[in-house]
Structure 1
């Protein structure tokens, strides 16, 4: 009779065999992120992890961003919330395994909540965390980055979240395959995942949404 530990090991080996699932430890994650340290500490710098697993890279990126938000804006809850939303909305991931996607969203939300409660336990705002949950549901996708389709066969679609006038967010949805098409550069446009402002092609969004206060983003659907 196999033990629970042995069953977990068999499950892990099968996942490695079927999906190439390998988890990177914290030390290696941070060593790699340090190669782009300046970007990881920019609150609005966008990151996409195409095989995010349970979020080892994304969790470290979020923590680095939240440390910056904390240092700059903790004296004002409103400014903290605005910039924390920018930080979480700039993080994207895809994974082919549903349990990994759920775990990744939960880990990111958990760290986000921990930092928030640490400073604003008395002023805790449920709407703020509801908005965060909604953003994570759109940014961490259950799908295959190689085929660029969701597990249901639909094109992977990411939401671009742009701050307008401080507290308002503009959401536009883009298909991943269109973002990565090899088309001619356009000097007048900036790509969703272009943080260095270089001129690149950007396709038309597949959906646009009206300006919404960041505390009401969770009411979209």
Structure 2
């Protein structure tokens, strides 16, 4: 049985001649387009997955962006230090001592420290979980610590005239802004003191 086709069977030299006259070049037939569809769809899905990953990574970097010149904000300045720890951690005192040493080595004077430990709490209203599931979480997405503890820190800042408060915990941009406004001085993270600012590149220097 002779094979059938929707297009006439032309010799190779005739097909090449037709391709040379076609300005659009080779155009795949419907079946070839259909067979390539799964590969194209897979490539598109991979592209979108990588794009979302880059966007999330960039968003995380923006949320926890360091404060330029953070070390200069504590030099010859009275500083308060604070830390939120899970009740499971038994070394919080040593960690706060290490934070105080970092502030001192950066030229600051520690005039007060505040520690809040989050223990096991009961469940909230409805079916919201409590207990150990919350021990490693901030008390507040806006202020990290509880409202009462932040008020204590703000009162100490007003009494001592401290120029900065350094938290042991990493701070988001939202937390940094809220804490600076509530406490009344620069709110920094321990990581801000340890980050080394990269020198400007030739491209950024050219823009300046």
TM-score by length of 2: 0.29
Bigger Rg, which one: 2
Higher relative contact order (CA 8 A, sep 6+): 2
